[in-house]
Chain A
Amino acid sequence: MKKTINIPLGSQHISLLEPVRFKFECENEKIISVDSDVGFVHRGIERACTTKFKFDAIGYVVARVCGLCAITHSLSYTAAIEKLLGGEITKKAKYLRILLLELDRVHSHMLCLSHTCENAGFEAMFMRIMGDRELVMEIQELLTGNRVQFDYINIGGVNRDISSEVAQKIVNNLYEVKQRVLGYMDEFTNNWSLSLKFKTIGALSLDDAYRLNAIGPLARASGLNIDVRNEIGYLPFSEVGFVMQTHSEGDINARNIVRLNEILNSILMCENILSGLPEGEIFTKLKGKPNGEAVVRFEAPRGELMYYVKGNGSAMLDRVRIKTPTFASIPAFSHIFVGENYADAPAILASFDPCLSCTAK
């Protein structure tokens, strides 16, 4: 006799930071189909961008799409507007933008790693990583003035200059973070009980990654070479030592390793930036009103973020389209769940690092 049961996960659940509802159809322990509802956080930002706010304020509004990758959102929007206005910003501003972008990636990846550990039942590791994450939050606060919503990037440059003491503090803290991350590396690769929870669980094959258009660490863990930092010329990522990190297994463990390697790479980039920071202004005034259309992509911590902006020569824009990484990965998520044990579902979900407030906007 065949029998299936439906188990809901969410919308409020201890393992979820955000409201999302999954309905798993299970046969014994195995998940055989997934149904998801991601619209709990829909607020209507895309419409507000064209009816409520003028174009120079939207950079701060779109940062509130998501608190974890706020910087990538305002950066993408600003880059699109700068493309339409046709100005060039100074080299120092570009470097400072990369600096904050990478710091944000470090703290976001650390949050994801700790959350994956917590959902796999390893509470002590969660506390350890969360504690060390404060080192990064501290320097973000020094650099921008706020811990989470930075509002650092402005059309034409950045809002705050960096002093030599702050730069020194950043270098010191990053050195500390690097030592800790090397420690986690050991834990994630050699801890036997973690490997039971992570290895071969929730795997995505390379062909499926291509077919389902997976992006971000999810795709890179399967061996797909997609990193937008490699594909844009707008910010000089290759100058500061960017190297793409990939893995071939595609399971939870591979995603964790990719994230750890990316943290190390980001720290290296930050150090390079600070040692070779050019002199100059941090802000150039750009004149005019946006006219025409532009597509801009950036690599958010979770993958490719795309902005489509269309202006008509006035202060109000015609259209702002935000394509967020999690939004595009949802088909891949559902695919991975099928065939796994229900007990692993929270850990698999956390390893995707989903961001629902991005998804629903």
Chain B
Amino acid sequence: MFDLKKYRKKSPWILHYNAGSCNGCDIEILASLSPKYDLERFGVINTGNPKQSDIFLVTGPVTYRSRERLVELYTQMPEPKVVIAVGSCTCTGGVFRDMYNVEDGIDRYIPVDVYIAGCAASPELIIDGIVKALEILEQKSKEMEKPHKLFREATSEGGIVNRRHSALKVGEIDEEN
């Protein structure tokens, strides 16, 4: 039968959304998909469909009008998924920080796994980020295979915080208080 896990690792699909960036990082993403940097050698392909994507590349500091779309796209992606914030303004707001129509960075709205700095982030960094994301994606698929347990295991794996773990942590703090 299908070994979905294997396919996912060999051919992760990318969804790209511009949440108010200046285009600088978007054209660098395009450039890294083009022959010189050739991100497609990792099996990566740029799709426009959230339902088929594994990696979510976001650029831009999240403007007010793009908030709903961002969260919508995120929720439509199937698990496991990895979110990459490309560019300084996506990570922290960058130059746009404190302007009246932006939220400072996408991590106010969705959990981010990889941050790529730089204004504009260079294609080399984007490739590094995606390779990193592939590791996280593999880790997350493994986590998904495990049976659900309602208690936290003692070892956290590979330094990667599982969302299920962090949710349980919140509960624990409540208990302690």
Contacts and interface: CB of A to CB of B under 8 A. Distances in A.
Chains A and B share a contact (CB less than 8 Å): yes
Interface of A: 11-15, 17-19, 39-45, 47-48, 52, 60-61, 64-68, 70, 111, 127, 130-131, 133-134, 137, 146-149, 355, 357
A148 B34 contact: no
A130 B31 contact: yes
A130 B35 contact: yes
A134 B31 contact: yes
Nearest to A151: B119
Interface string B114-131: 000001101100000000
Contacts, number: 129
Interface stretch (B4-12, B17-25, B136-144): B17-25
A67 B63 contact: no
A357 B65 contact: no
Contact of B35 (A48, A68, A131, A146): A131
Interface in B60-104: 60-61, 63-66, 69, 73, 89, 94-96, 98-102
B133 to A, nearest CB: 20
Contacts of B18: 17-19, 41, 357
A47 B36 CA distance: 39
B74 to A, nearest CB: 11
B27 interface: yes
Nearest to B120: A148
A130 B122 contact: no
Given A40-B66, A42-B63, A17 B98 contact: no
A67 B34 contact: no
Contacts of A357: 18, 20-23
Given A12-B50, A40-B20, A44-B102, 6 more contacts: A14-B49, A47-B100, A64-B96, A67-B23, A67-B26, A148-B24
9 contacts: A12-B17, A19-B69, A40-B66, A43-B102, A47-B100, A52-B99, A70-B24, A130-B33, A149-B119
Nearest to A14: B48
B144 to A, nearest CB: 26
A66 B120 CA distance: 11
A111 B27 contact: yes
A127 B35 CA distance: 6
B111 to A, nearest CB: 19
B28 interface: yes
Given A41-B20, A131-B34, A137-B31, A17 B26 contact: yes
A53 to B, nearest CB: 9
A67 B24 contact: yes
B162 interface: no
Most chain A CB within 10 A, of B18, B22, B61, B65, is at B22
A160 B33 CA distance: 30
Contacts of A130: 30-31, 33-35
A47, A133, A148, A149, most chain B CB atoms within 10 A: A148
A45 B30 contact: no
A44 B63 CA distance: 10
B23 A355 contact: yes
B65 A42 contact: yes
A99 B30 CA distance: 24
A80 B98 CA distance: 26
B52 to A, nearest CB: 11
A320 to B, nearest CB: 13
A68 B23 contact: yes
Contacts of A19: 17-20, 66, 69
B166 interface: no
B20 A12 contact: no
Contacts of A42: 20, 63-65, 101
Nearest to B60: A41
Nearest to A46: B99
B99 A43 contact: yes
A67 B120 CA distance: 8
Contacts of A61: 95
A350 B21 CA distance: 19
Contacts of B21: 41, 67, 357
Contacts of A43: 20, 61, 63, 96, 99, 101-102
A133 B69 CA distance: 32
A66 B23 contact: yes
Contacts of A66: 22-23
Interface centre among B31, B61, B122, B123 (most CB of A within 10 A): B31
Nearest to A39: B65
A44 B100 contact: yes
Nearest to A15: B48
A113 B79 CA distance: 36
B36 to A, nearest CB: 4
